[in-house]
Amino acid sequence: MRSALEAATEWEGELRIQILPFLLVTDIYGDSYAHDDGDVAVWKAAVATNLLAEADITSPKHEGFIGRWNMPFVRWLKSISIAAQEELAIYYDHERGDTPYEYVSWASSPASIGGPCERFGISSHGGMDEPEWEFDVVRFADGRSEVEERGPCDDPPHYL
């Protein structure tokens, strides 16, 4: 992780870090990502951090679009967000050449006006400019949820 932090860039006041190798356990094609034991030990320090959108992220329907995420890493990111009382967001896109396939986002917002929450979204383009299917959820710490799904998703990809 040290090399990713050293290679971080600033853009419009935000810190940009390439985290895909840490975020994924397995990508949508079934390729695995190895994680350094030292990094894993750091991530496990946040094992008690509750993820509000975990069921959405680990849903078999969604994993076909986003791969299998490294949940200890996501918990660790959320713990940083809570400690700093700042939003922390992940944006992940899957393209083939210049053709969009999936766009995925997750954010922890501990100081949101509506209360502490997490947002998770998937936009599946299937190689088209406009999305064929979209899923967005906001899960609040008090149990409220706002879920929106647009377009058909009768047959999600099953690469894993």
Residue 60 has pLDDT above 90, yes or no: no
pLDDT tens digits, one per residue of 17-54: 888 889 999 988 889 999 999 999 999 999 889 999 99
Write the burial class of residue 148 (CB in 10 Å: 0-12 exposed, 13-18 middle, 19+ buried).
exposed
Cα torsion for 37, 43, 44, 50, to the nearest 10°? -160
Structural domain span for residue 7: 2-150
Q: What is the total count of domains within the chain?
A: 1
Model confidence band, residue 151 (pLDDT cutoffs 50, 70, 90): confident
pLDDT score recorded for residue 94: 72
Q: Is residue 159 very low, low, confident or very high in pLDDT (cuts 50, 70, 90)?
A: very low
130 found inside a domain: yes
* Confidence (pLDDT) at 154: 64
Burial 16-43 (b: 16+ CB within 10 A, else e): eeebeebbbbbbbeeeeeebeeebeeeb
**Does some domain include residue 23?**
yes
pLDDT average, residue stretch 130-154: 89
In a domain, 11, yes or no: yes
* pLDDT tens sequence across 85-139: 999 999 888 766 677 778 889 999 999 999 999 999 999 887 778 888 899 999 9
Domain presence at residue 160: no
User: What per-residue confidence (pLDDT) applies to 105?
Assistant: 92
* 57 within some domain: yes
pTM: 0.86
Residue 20 lies in a domain: yes
